[in-house]
Amino acid sequence: MRDFDHCFRLGGEEFAILVSDTNDHELHTIAERIRRTVAQTTFRSNDVTIKVTFSVGFTLSAQADNSWGEALERADLALYNSKETGRNKVSGETQRAVFYPMAFEHSHLA
């Protein structure tokens, strides 16, 4: 993540990262870098070695989005695509990949 990106815990094991000033290729690269870093890290707890992997779904905000919920729903669909096609991978929903960085400036997520 970059210094100006923000990470939010949505609940349980679900997180969202708000990335501004990017496009679908850069966003995929950022998500893949995070996924790979976690997959290469070994955690230890009570003499037990733990390897963690995870799936990522991403989307770009679209001018037609009326809320964070709409963007999160698309990211969730992309996440399920990652899980259904092999897990431990990054998938993006870029059908409406038009990025408007200020689209959610009045969000209640923060």
Concerning whether 84 is annotated as a catalytic residue, the answer is: no
Q: Which residues of 33-49 are buried (b: 16+ CB within 10 A; e: fewer)?
A: ebbeeeeeeeeeeeeee
> Which of 13, 26, 70, 93 is flagged as catalytic?
13
Cβ atoms < 10 Å from Cβ of 6: 12
Please list the active-site residues.
13
